[in-house]
Every structure is written in structure tokens, then in C-alpha cells.
Chains A and B, each alone.
Chain A
Amino acid sequence: MKTFLLFCSLIGGSSLGEILSAKGMQQVGDVSLRPRALVQAILRMIRNPYLIGGVACMAVSFFSFISLLSYADLSFVVPLTAVSYITNTLGARFFLGERISKERWMGTLMVAFGVALVSISDKLEAWFGSTR
């Protein structure tokens, strides 16, 4: 139960954090890399409530992550984070009004699958190694 709640706050915090930050940056508007405009943009950023909320959510997510790591196996926790690519894309679709084309969904699912594969690769190798 504790693990499930921490997992929810890990994925939920990260998705909510990403979505709020993206929303905040939409409000801040296109950031120019010229020095003066950049300073103005930074001033707008640190006063944007969405952005502040987003960073706070990411902090919650990060502390859930390290709490999980303090007792759960790394190879159990990290593959689960691949789910956040899917939840974030869903959030972008429904809360930010982004249009997710078929290609983008395909690419995102491939990324999530690849991330899951990378994070269980050590386990896979141990398993295949022992059956050989």
C-alpha cells in the first residue's frame, strides 16, 4: 500500500509538475536568448504561479522517488518511470490542448518501451545468463 501511494505520487507529481511548467512557459511566451530579453523572461518565470507549482510538484515527485529507493529495488522502481512518458502525453493532450498526431504517439510509445527495456536490462541479462 505504501509502495502504491509513493508510486502514485512519483508519477502524479512528475506529470502534474511537467504539465504545470509547460503551462507556465506557455504564459511566459517564447523566450529569446538575447541577454536583455532573457533577463526579462527569467523575471516573468520566477513570478509565474504555474511554474512555481510545477517545480513544487517535481520536488514532491523527487522525494517520493528517493523514499521508494530507500527500501525498494532500483530495478523495480526505475522501469515504472517509463509510464510517465505516457501519462505526460495524455496530460498534454487533455490539459494543454496539444494535438498528438499518430506519429508522435508511435514515437512516444517506442521511447517508453525503450526506457523500460533499458531499465530492466540488468535483470534480463542476469536471467538469460543463468538459463544459458
Chain B
Amino acid sequence: MKTLVVLFVAICAQTLGDVCLTKGMKSIGEVNTLDPAKLFHIGVQVFTTPYVWLGILILSIFFGLYLVALSWADLSFVLPVTAFGYVMNAFMSWKLLGEHVSPARWVGTLVICFGVAIVAKTEQRTTKPAAVEVSAE
């Protein structure tokens, strides 16, 4: 249960982090040059955009929680379950950003939901936990 809770928080962080990154990058504008001098200039812009920093920070939180979940459960369990992020994304773009979500995207989202539900019901760990010295608590 705690694995699912941590993964849920991680997925929320991922969705939010992606939104921040998108907002930040859109504010810079389309990157359509390979000229090193211009790319450098864009690089400077990227790292002085607060939304980009916020996005990176939130995505690091996601990655940390993801690794914590991996210490408790199988990779083949954690990975499909994080696909729930697609469901969250569809919902967020529909409710919060007021974007149009096509029927095919809803169908795909529903299929992901079923897939995640099936995986989530399977045994979380099929390998033996590592024999690590128990930390003093």
C-alpha cells in the first residue's frame, strides 16, 4: 500500500513538473537553430527562467520518490504503474488547461487505467530483499 501511495505522490510531482517545464520552455520560444552561439544564448535563457528551475526541482522530487518505490517493489511493477501519469495528464489538460482531448486519447487513457489496475493488483515484489545492515532507528 505504501508503495502505491508514494508512487501516486511521485506521479503528481511528475505531472506538475512537466507542466512547469512546458510553461518555462514555451516562454522562451521555439528552439530551431543549431548555431552554437545562438544555442548558448538559449541555454543561458533556459537556466534563468524560474519555471524551468521549479520544473527541474519538482522532477527531482519525482525521481527520488520513484527510486524509493524501486527499493520496495519490482521494476516490472513500478514502471507500468507510473503510466498512470498519462491518465493524470489527460485529466489535467482537460480540466485545468481546458484543452481539447480527442476520443482516441480518452480510449487510450482508459486502456492505460485498466492496465495499471491489473498490474497494481499483482504481487509487488518477486525478488528477495537485499541483505543490508539494519540502520539504527
Contacts and interface: CB of A to CB of B under 8 A. Distances in A.
Interface of A: 18-19, 21-22, 25-34, 36-37, 40-41, 45, 51, 70, 85, 88-89, 91-93, 96-101, 103-104, 106-122, 124-125
Contacts of A26: 71, 127, 129-130
B135 A107 contact: no
12 contacts: A28-B71, A88-B79, A104-B118, A107-B80, A107-B116, A107-B122, A108-B76, A114-B111, A114-B113, A117-B108, A120-B104, A121-B105
Given A29-B129, A31-B71, A107 B104 contact: no
A114 B118 contact: no
Contacts of B126: 98-100
Interface of B: 34, 67-68, 70-72, 74-80, 83, 86, 90, 102-105, 107-123, 126-127, 129-130, 132, 135, 137
B122 A114 contact: no
A18 B135 CA distance: 26
Most B CB contacts (10 A, CB to CB) among A70, A104, A125 go to A104
Contacts of A120: 104
A88 B122 CA distance: 17
Contacts of A125: 102-104
Contact of A111 (B83, B103, B107, B127): B83
Contact of B79 (A18, A93, A118): A18
Contacts of A107: 80, 114-120, 122
